[in-house]
Structure 1
Amino acid sequence: MPFLRLPPEILRQIFSEIGSSFFREDLGRLTVCKLWFEFALPTCFKSITLSQETLRSLVTSGAIKGLSPLKDGLETLDLEVRGYQSCLSTSYPQEYAQESTSLKAPAPSGGPADDPVKTWIKILNNDLTQLAIVAQQSHRLRILRIRAWRSRSPEPLDTPQDYLRLPTMQAFLSVENLSVLVLDLSGSFLVSSGQQGIGRHICPAIGAVLRTLRTLHLRMRSICPDVLKPRDLNDGLRLSVVVINLSLTTDLPGITSAAHSTRCGSQGGGLLQLKAEIQEQAEALAAL
């Protein structure tokens, strides 16, 4: 029997075994024929890794709004954001410069032009928000990994820029039925944009997805025990692996001192107290 005349359920299983990496290595492998393409495309989009550059290309092309195969088949999403310096050191799409100009607010009369870093932050978070909408609509999505490197200012003596907005990251955490969540956000504090109350930090949003998770890995510059406080538990927890790293990486040249997470909010206490509080909450979680 010719291969493509096999029953559809068997073809889907075969293409699933082939895996998305096979097609991403050479997109020409998608174009054998129309029927082949119908099975190969969802497999190609089963697992994707996006940088800020590839995400920008998807948004400017308009493709991200019409990616139904992505929404229908996406199971694993890896997002790697390397900060503003990466934008300058790589061949960033030409469309970035065009949209950067359109997003700039008019400068006050006689005032300085908009900060290019702030413009980049605005564009990046707009792109991430669109990606989060796609993730929310991807009902097969089970694995979400996000890593953010530190973003340095164009001026060598300036302090590193924080660029991730809290509402943007909270949008990713509204994805239903995640089983694996990996957040390495040691490169940027989450900017709350003036939010008040419980929404000022991301930890409660992480706690809210604990009910479906099996694996949780966290490393953030600001953290508290709320990450391990589940909500709306109806049928118990499925968690089997929890890793919380309080040691932060330092990828800036010339800086060799150790860096550690701090507690969310204005409450005092150092690293040892933070570690003890998280450990205590972890023990309470394990007892559920």
Structure 2
Amino acid sequence: MALLQLPSEVLLHMLDGVGASFFYKDIRRLHVSKRWYSLAWLIMAREVHLNLRTLPRLLENEEVFGRIRTHLSSVNLYLHFLGKTVRDDPSPDDKCVVEANSFLDQLVVPLRHCPQLKSLSIIAALGLFGLSTGSIGSLLSVCPLTSLHIDIPIRLALWRGRPGYNDHTAHLCRCINALLPSLRRLSCRLHLICDQLLEPLPDDANGPLKLEELIINLTQPSFTGQGRHHPRNCGSILAPFEPVQKAIENQAEALVARLNNPRMVRVIGYGVLLQEIYAYDAITKRRTRLEPDAEWDAEGQVVADEG
């Protein structure tokens, strides 16, 4: 039987396995036939990939957003300025940064009307200095997410006093912590981070959690290309960070006891003098050494057994 002669439900299942990224890499892959297009479009509608060039276009096109709204389950945001380098680092008052925060604020409203939305990924480039924590926090709060990947190793602007600012959405650690009851996967790296990220939830939420994969990355890429450094402590950027890292490791270990099906619970951080990168496995209580450019979930080399 020819591929296009398969029943629609079978073909849709196959295309779902291929994933939306297959079509985003080359939009011409949609145009095989009218039937193929109608099914492949549904796959693309479930997962959107947006940057600061395509995001405003989508916000301006209400018709397109209206078509994908009921299907959309995953949003991937890549926040970077094309053509800019770290040395071109803009300030929070630059027009491009103000526009970026405005676009994020505008995205909140339509996402609240996407009933299938469960997954959110936000990745910001080093050169984008001044993203509003309030804008990002509002995005995290649009719905009970089951999957969150947030990689923002950049200096953020609290934007105190601006319209819409409040402590809940400005403190991202607290905002992410509030999502723990619904999350199944969480991977997180922030320039500003503290132990409120994994602090125990209120007494009425102390039952088993659905979380299966948790990765907290406490390493930071270098702004200058030389040397390594810790993230900053939300509570006090001048305080030593080592106690925060230890606290987060202890909290991750305590969290394991509340998980029904923990597959990976790890905290990635530096060793002594920032010379090496280690991943602490809160399930096995083992520490592994990772290569500097390793994936966050890489196996690494076991160097200690703390159990």
> Normalising to structure 2: TM-score of the pair?
0.68
Give the equivalent residue in structure 1 for 2:19.
19
Which letter does structure 2 place at the counterpart of 1:214?
R
1:163 aligns with 2:138: no
Which letter does structure 1 place at the counterpart of 2:221?
T
Q: 1:209 is paired with a residue of what secondary structure?
A: coil
Which letter does structure 1 place at the counterpart of 2:94?
K
Select which of 78, 81, 85 maps to 1:80.
78
CA offset at residue 185 of structure 1? 0.9
Q: Deviations over 1:226-277 (max 9, x none)?
A: 2113456376201122221222111435xx1321112113486311111122
Select which of 196, 201, 207 maps to 1:226.
196
Which letter does structure 1 place at the counterpart of 2:150?
L
More helix by share: 1
Q: How many residues align?
A: 250
Give the equivalent residue in structure 2 for 1:242.
214
* Separation (CA, whole Å) in 2 of partners of 1:127 and 1:197: 21
Select which of 193, 196, 203 maps to 2:160.
193
1:130 aligns with 2:102: no
Give the equivalent residue in structure 2 for 1:183.
150
8 A contact 1:81–1:149 mirrored in 2: yes
Question: What 5-or-longer segments of structure 2 have no aligned partner?
Answer: 259-307
Give the equivalent residue in structure 2 for 1:118.
94
1:172 aligns with 2:139: yes
Specify whether residues 175 and 234 from structure 1 end up closer, same or farther in structure 2 by C-alpha distance, changes over 3 A only: farther
Specify whether residues 24 and 148 from structure 1 end up closer, same or farther in structure 2 by C-alpha distance, changes over 3 A only: closer
Identity rate, percent:
28
> Normalising to structure 1: TM-score of the pair?
0.72
Give the equivalent residue in structure 2 for 1:68.
66
Q: How does 1:26-37 map to 2 (within 5 A)?
A: 26-31=26-31, 34-37=34-37
Higher mean C-alpha displacement, 227-236 vs 277-286:
227-236
Give the equivalent residue in structure 1 for 2:290.
none
CA offset at residue 190 of structure 1? 4.2
* Separation (CA, whole Å) in 2 of partners of 1:272 and 1:17: 42
Q: 1:144 is paired with a residue of what secondary structure?
A: strand
* Separation (CA, whole Å) in 2 of partners of 1:200 and 1:50: 23
Q: CA RMSD in A?
A: 3.3
8 A contact 1:165–1:193 mirrored in 2: no
Specify whether residues 129 and 66 from structure 1 end up closer, same or farther in structure 2 by C-alpha distance, changes over 3 A only: farther
Q: How does 1:77-116 map to 2 (within 5 A)?
A: 77-83=75-81, 86=84
8 A contact 1:142–1:177 mirrored in 2: yes
Specify whether residues 10 and 199 from structure 1 end up closer, same or farther in structure 2 by C-alpha distance, changes over 3 A only: closer
* Separation (CA, whole Å) in 1 of partners of 2:207 and 2:5: 43
Give the equivalent residue in structure 2 for 1:214.
184
Q: Deviations over 1:108-145 (max 9, x none)?
A: xxxxxxx8952211211111223333433333233322
Question: What 5-or-longer segments of structure 1 have no aligned partner?
Answer: 90-114, 153-161
CA offset at residue 206 of structure 1? 0.2
8 A contact 1:84–1:117 mirrored in 2: no
* Separation (CA, whole Å) in 1 of partners of 2:92 and 2:256: 47
Specify whether residues 177 and 8 from structure 1 end up closer, same or farther in structure 2 by C-alpha distance, changes over 3 A only: farther
CA offset at residue 205 of structure 1? 0.7
1:280 aligns with 2:280: no
CA offset at residue 3 of structure 1? 7.4
